[in-house]
Structure 1
Amino acid sequence: MNIAVVFAGGTGQRMNSKSKPKQFLMLHGRPIIIYTLERFEQHPDVDAIVVVCLSDWVDELKRYINKYGLTKIASIVPGGDSGQASIRNGVYEAARLFPSDSVVLVHDGVRPLVDSRTISDCIDCVEERGSAVTVVPAIETIVQSTDGVIDNIIDRKRCQLARAPQCFRLGELREAHERALDEGLTEFIDSASLMAHYGHTLYEVEGSPANIKITTPSDYYIMRAIMDEQEDSQFFGF
């Protein structure tokens, strides 16, 4: 089975939205989280979706899921006190519901522009090789610095940006979360860094540059422009 764990537990402080979390901001009458969930709902190889949501917004999310007729939502669980804890909640719930050899796709609720091909490529990579991380090439110079002084310029050709989905065998990801919890390790930035820490080889899957994360107001406007262009191309054949 192929299970998506969609993390929608962030508060969106960098978005400067005072009324609601960023995943519930509206675009063309729909919240961002619904656009994201629909990408997995509509993919023929995704069997079920577990959503991690801010506890105060679970009822609101359920209303949207019913309104838009999403049928693959297997469970909604509340987030934790950190990103790692929230993803762990979702992984544990997925492991409770589905076999340990399932492929799990961990995805950000505020990445609504992931395309079907990327999802398929990630699933194929886990089945054929092992843990998969979506990446895009770095297009700007990356530097390292110490105390405000640049001391290393990294070869851009060897650099990529990690994005999502990040995909693993469900049992292996659950085990990694259990080990980190037992060892008191709580600062992993994402599932890829967690799995790498425990010795798992990570294979790259090149994704689309359009698959951005909506973190700041400028990201929101970029997303809106991309989605408008995609919609126009369907009608006018651009």
Structure 2
Amino acid sequence: MHGHDGDKAEGDKAEPEEGARGWATTLTGAAALFVLLRLLAVAHYDWHTAFALLHTLDFEDAPAIFLGTFMANRVVSTVLLVGLTTFTLLAWVARGRAAPVADPRRWLGPALLSAVLVAMVVAHIRSYHSWGLLVAVVVLALTAALLGRARRHPRLGRATSAVLRQAKVLSIAAALVCAAVVSTPWVPLERVEVENGTREVHVFDVSPGFVKVLDADTREFHIYREDEIRSRVELADH
């Protein structure tokens, strides 16, 4: 009897571990696919250009590519912030419906995410004067307040929980769609002066003696010697 109970307990413990390993494998595969789609999208789906860009990357560049994708494009970053605001507010509503106030662990995740989200929204509004984002955040906050007041409604509670359960899958799908369609590179746009004129390029790699760039207009890949480049100026608004 005790042996059977012990086997059952071990089985229950193994299930979360297998689930965690499954998610880790999924995230690893999604990250590799994200980088591949970004290479193709930035190269305008030219195989040779994507292959050239591939050799400017290291394995540890994946986080920079992910963050750069959303920070380099104003529209994408606006959509991302609205989506994050929606999920965060839904998480607050769900915590208020299901978690006791005395248990701070259930509030820690949404609280940290909210702090980071507020900083990102403030930075975005200050940089781009994106008042539409501010209006969207205010509307979502008011909507969340109304949902919080009606959180005891069974159907509303189930709908909120269902959305949150699918948040991981929806986030991965949205990230892959962005990777495939957003052609803005994850590195800043620069104006470089070379011997035969001035060009607007994205600098992907600076190695000893050479600078590897992608032309912003033609999306052609070039390798310049360092002595060929007379000046470099980063263009902030792109």
Rg (Cα) greater in structure = 2
| Greater helix fraction, Structure 1 or Structure 2 | 2
TM-score by length of 1: 0.21
| Greater strand fraction, Structure 1 or Structure 2 | 1
TM-score by length of 2: 0.21
